Every structure is written in C-alpha cells, then in structure tokens.
A = this chain, B = another copy of it.
C-alpha cells in the first residue's frame, strides 16, 4: 500500500454504470443500472428521461417525498433488500453541496441511491514530551460493518436534523466517553471526499475532519459497544500503519493522511504530494 493506493481504493467508482436521479432540477444521487432495472423501473415512482431518473413531481414537498420513499423502501426490505443493515435512522438527501434538503431517507438505502452522506471524523491526539500521539480505536468485533478494523478516534454518520458539531459531541460521549465540555473544543479543520463503489452501491461521501487535542491524563473509554478498545499510538506508528497496511477501515485512512499533511509530516517535494492533496478532496464528479 501507499497513501495514493488508499485514495485510489476509496475512489474506485465506475460512474459509467450509474445514471443520476433528480428531484425537480436537483441531482439527488445516482442509481446503478442493474439496481434501477430491478427495483426502480417498474416502481411507478420514477420516470426515465434522457438525463436520468426523475422522481414523480407530484411529490412536491420533502415530507411527501420522504413518506412515499419510506413506504417504497419498506417494500424493498420485505423483498429481502438491506438485510440486517436497516437502521431506522433518517439521513438528509440534499443536492450536492447545496441546500435545501430534498427529503430524508433511511440510512441503509442511501448508498443504493448514490446519495451523498457524510459525518464527523475526529482525530483525538495528545502532545506528549516525546511527541504527538493519536488515540486509535479498534471497532467492535460484533459490528455488522468492518468488524475489528482500526478506526478514527471518534466518527459517525450524520443523521438528519442534527448539526455536525452537535453530532460529534454526542458521538464523543457514546463512543469514547469524552465529556461534552472537552468534545466542544474539537475544531473542524478539513474535508475529505471520495466516490466509492461497492457492488451496485455508490458512496459519493464527504467527511468533515475534526482535530481534538486531548489532555495527557485523559483516557477514552468505549461506552456503547461500538469500540472494542482504545490504544494511544505514537503518530509515526499510525503513519506507518496507514502507509503500509489496510488495518484501518478504508475511508479512515484518508482522514489520517489529511491529518499527517496538516501536521507537516509530508514533504512538498514528495513526487505524490499534489496527487495526494488533490485526491483527498474529490468533491466534484470525476470525469
């Protein structure tokens, strides 16, 4: 592996297999042709035009769209879709980088509809006399996704109706027992964005990177069963583990590479420097 390999691994989407879908003039996401043929084409909910799929314009409010979509998705679930991953957790569907919210959608369905998701990913670090250290959690071996992999100190999906910082403070309490007054001090310092494909699913995701300097005498503690254990690693060990292995969950590598860059650990004259920095923030449609 290399830093660029992690970026390529996250940006593995073949957009030519997808068609966009729209709510009015707004592109809301992307549908894989095979999923569209199987689940969308005869649903009566979407009309196919030259530029992609269009949600029934009679659904003219976010509430109507959300309710109709929910009923449709529950039908898909009955036919065996989403398996154990249905969460009863609503995500916002919004035009890329835009407002307002077009509707909400069950989290498990979001990547099937190629809807941009995101959430806070926080690196909790300690400045010790012997150098920078990072608190590294290992995901619970019971989690349905990426069990046992290494993760960002605190990270979570972004539910509808919550601010990013508010959500981070909540996750800091749940995942790492970081008290609210300490979690509040986390700073939003970057964005990492990628276009990831997994089978028929597309994740054009944007993660908001937070840094939080933690006091030396604070030890994060798993609180909600999502984390198996925390270890405090010298930043150089994190750097080498990211660079040389796939031990971290795939997208967490990008958040850590961004941390390494912002903390001055890469040389501007490294041959991959521009490609890495450009690749960490693929906000726009790849060509």
Q: Which residues of A are in contact with B by a Cβ distance under 8 Å? A: 97, 99, 120, 163-166, 168, 187-191, 193, 206, 208, 210-211, 261-264, 266-269, 271, 273-275, 277-278, 281, 283-287
Contacts and interface: CB of A to CB of B under 8 A. Distances in A.
A278 B211 CA distance: 19
Contact of A191 (B99, B277, B286): B277
A165 to B, nearest CB: 6
Given A189-B262, A262-B189, A284 B284 contact: yes
24 contacts: A99-B271, A120-B268, A163-B269, A164-B269, A165-B267, A165-B268, A188-B261, A188-B266, A188-B268, A188-B273, A189-B261, A190-B261, A190-B262, A191-B277, A193-B278, A206-B274, A208-B268, A208-B273, A210-B268, A277-B283, A278-B283, A278-B284, A284-B284, A287-B287
B190 A269 contact: no
A189 B193 CA distance: 18
A36 B148 CA distance: 58
A284 B281 contact: no
A254 to B, nearest CB: 14
Nearest to A208: B268
Contact of A264 (B189, B191, B275, B286): B189
B274 A191 contact: yes
Given A163-B268, A274-B283, 14 more contacts: A188-B267, A188-B268, A189-B261, A189-B262, A189-B263, A189-B264, A190-B262, A191-B277, A193-B278, A262-B262, A278-B281, A278-B283, A284-B286, A284-B287
Given A268-B208, A284-B284, A287-B284, A278 B97 contact: yes
A47 to B, nearest CB: 25
A278 B165 contact: no
A13 to B, nearest CB: 15
Nearest to A120: B268
A164 B278 contact: no
A284 B262 CA distance: 21
A18 to B, nearest CB: 16
Contacts of A163: 268-269
A73 to B, nearest CB: 26
